[in-house]
A and B are shown apart, each in its own frame.
Chain A
Amino acid sequence: MPGKPLLKIADLRARVAGKNILNGVDLEVGVGEVHAIMGPNGSGKSTLAQVLAGREDYEVTGGEVIFDGRDLLALRPEERARGGLFLGFQYPVEIPGVNNVYLLKAALNAKRKTAGEPEVDAYEFLALIKQKMKFMQMSESFLTRGVNEGFSGGEKKRNEILQMLVLEPKLALLDETDSGLDIDALKVVAHGVNSLRDGKRSIVLITHYQRLLDYIAPDRVHVFSGGRILKSGDKSLALELERRGYDWLQAVQVA
């Protein structure tokens, strides 16, 4: 693998409500790479995403995570975000009373401030948002609504991708962004993700199904089970999983 990886996870272990969920995760993601983490429900994929984003009620019990040369686990969630880590939530929360656009603007300005850049101009910002919204095929009513307020499942996922496009993270962790989407919405979301794929940004797709990978071709595929990565391979692994199911791998592991 050329150069230093953007993300290096070594023997990461974590506990939620007293229960061990992550049991020694090892993963390296290079700059510009797209990885897919696949696995059955309850295998700990989402927990990995939440731990990396800094969810406080998830207790890290061991291991190390280096992101962009820094000790990620020592940073607060907001510092991780400003440093270029983005989590696309599986279940984006509704926040009535906090406007979508205000949140985006605050998020962008927080990132710019950290980078020593001036605040974004209000006019330019609105133009940027409108352009990205059009790209994501979102209705203008989004501008006046509360964060995810009354959004359908598909709208919430589009909103996550919109935020990602505006914030242009170094690493995007997309947690089941494909779940609950019809095929048209899935294409829009995939299109959004692919547009960020410029060789400089890395993407980790967490998904249960192979479907999304028809539209976003990953460089590496990892199978997650029992709180760690069981097997890694290229995109043919995803196809094999689709054909043979997760049981096959788990059986291999036991044997």
Chain B
Amino acid sequence: MSTAAAPPSAALRSFEAQWRARAPDPLAALRGQAMQRLLALGLPSSRDESWRYTNLRGLAAQTFVEAPRITDPAALRALPQSWLAGAAAAPPIVIVNGYPEPTHAPHGPPQGVEISSLRALPLRDAASLLGRMPPQGDAEQTRWALLNAALFADGLYVRIGAAVAAPVLIVHVAAGGAANATVHSRVIIEAMPGCAATIIEHHIGAGGQPQLCNSATQILLAAESAVEHYRVFATPAATTHFDALDVRQARSSRCRQFTIVLGGGLVRTNLDAHLEEAGALHETYALLAGNDARHVDCVATAVHRAPRTTSRQTARAIAAGTSRVVFNSKVIVEEGAAGADSRQSSRGLLLAPTAEIDTRPQLEIHADDVKCAHGATIGRLDADMLFYLLSRGLDRATAQGLLVYAFLDDVLTGMSSAQARERIEDALIAQLPDAELLRAFR
């Protein structure tokens, strides 16, 4: 057996070329470290535990180019619009191919929320930005986040400095422009002590060309702050998407996170939540819709590092067509996290014999006096429920759609933004059979 590292893949070489072509910026040192690390580790493969269901061999053999910055106003206007726009009071903040478009938000964010471009930030204070980037690790789950650190051109810093009621919408548009265009967008959200807001990130895309999105979001919650965060993936089928979300929670902070996959060809999402101080509460809800040939791979990890921390991981996956949905959740209770309380609930619903769902809740406990529960089930539509609805005269497609909808109820009812929920439900229903009939049920 050879221990020598495999030669870098074509994809990795093309990423390295993108990095070398960049003009140095205040983050050059950090970017260099991230790139070198990735070159040494290589892209994740199915030999890596958390990637065993997602084969990237085909992707690794391709080469990728940097998605261009789009400046032509007509081209910007022609880009697809977010169907979540109505969920926010203010116009959305739009990031096109990783570059924030200030012209799209003439009225600015609601009062109490400050938004600046990451590119503007390091000029003022590179150290403060560096301090807010997640530490770089070797973990296979965050391999693509390393690439984002090396290559993100710009992004957003969102500072929550009040208790803000109206949701803030950030729209990531992958505008393509070339085959295998690669977009690395980055968002850093920071909630100041005692402050609260709802932030929605909506990923959409244009065109039928294959493209690669590699996004990363960092959420920092100060003591007693609260953030409700949505990441909604609704890109075209030709899009491959990797997303890394890193959450750090201080004392008695509350984070409620929704990961919603309704689009894309291959979507892999990662969530690392760190409950760093006592009393922190982290809830994550995943709603994963496999349709056609979509491949969804969602990984969520909650690390309890302090006493009396609470985590809830709820995932509902549906799979139709020849889709495959993978959901792996993990709770780690570190030494000293006495009184930790965690609950994992993963359920999968297979809608076609050709679809596949895999789920595995994992638990790692290094402390005493903890309360950890988990449950996982995968099944088909309940025959008794279906017959009951049919026996009341509902046609089969409507009955099935209703049952699917009911299955997802635990996630949908968790959403405190009624406007966001309504739009997400609409988009979800459009993927179910007999969409028009189901709409009448709302």
Contact = CB atoms under 8 A, between A and B. Distances in A.
B391 A54 contact: yes
B166 interface: no
Interface in B154-200: none
A9 to B, nearest CB: 18
A196 interface: no
Contacts of B396: 76, 78
A107 interface: yes
Given A93-B388, A95-B385, A97-B407, A111 B441 contact: no
A81 B387 CA distance: 11
B81 to A, nearest CB: 31
B424 to A, nearest CB: 16
A5 B161 CA distance: 76
Interface string A103-146: 10011001100100000000000000000000000000000001
A243 B170 CA distance: 76
Interface in A44-93: 53-57, 76-78, 80-82, 87, 89, 92-93
A180 interface: no
B4 interface: no
Contact of B409 (A56, A76, A96, A107): A96
A57 B406 CA distance: 24
Contact of B391 (A53, A95, A99, A114): A53
Q: Which 8 A-B pairs have the closest CB atoms?
A: A97-B406, A97-B409, A81-B393, A110-B393, A107-B392, A77-B390, A82-B393, A93-B384
14 contacts: A54-B390, A78-B396, A78-B399, A93-B385, A95-B406, A102-B402, A103-B389, A106-B392, A106-B394, A106-B402, A107-B392, A110-B393, A111-B393, A114-B393
Interface of B: 382-385, 387-396, 398-399, 402-403, 405-409, 440-441
B412 to A, nearest CB: 9
B393 A78 contact: yes
A98 interface: yes
Given A80-B391, A98-B389, 7 more contacts: A78-B396, A81-B390, A93-B382, A93-B384, A97-B405, A106-B441, A110-B395
Contact of A87 (B383, B385, B391, B395): B391
Contacts of A163: 392
Interface in A151-167: 163, 167
B394 A110 contact: yes
B384 A102 contact: no
A106 B403 contact: no
Nearest to A56: B387
B68 to A, nearest CB: 45
A95 B385 CA distance: 7
A95 B441 contact: no
A106 to B, nearest CB: 5
A81 B441 contact: no
Nearest to B442: A102
A95 B387 contact: no
A77 B391 contact: yes
B403 A98 contact: yes
Nearest to A81: B393
Contacts of A92: 388
B406 A98 contact: yes
A53 B409 CA distance: 29
Contacts of B403: 95, 98
A14 to B, nearest CB: 15
- Give the most central of B383, B387, B440: most A CB within 10 Å: B387
Contacts of B387: 53, 55-56, 77
Given A57-B383, A102-B441, A146 B391 contact: no
A150 to B, nearest CB: 14
- Give the most central of B384, B385, B391, B440: most A CB within 10 Å: B391
A98 B389 CA distance: 10
A162 B408 CA distance: 27
A17 to B, nearest CB: 13
Nearest to A88: B391
Contacts of B440: 106
Contacts of B409: 96-97
Contacts of A57: 383
Contacts of B390: 54, 76-78, 81
B383 A98 contact: no
Contacts of A87: 391
A37 B408 CA distance: 41
Nearest to B405: A97
Contacts of B408: 97
Given A93-B384, A95-B385, A78 B406 contact: no
Contacts of B385: 93, 95
A81 B391 contact: yes
Contacts of A107: 392-394
A76 B396 CA distance: 10
A139 to B, nearest CB: 21
B391 A106 contact: no
Nearest to A91: B384
Nearest to B410: A97
Nearest to B390: A77
A106 B434 CA distance: 13
Interface in A8-61: 53-57
Contacts of B402: 98, 102-103, 106
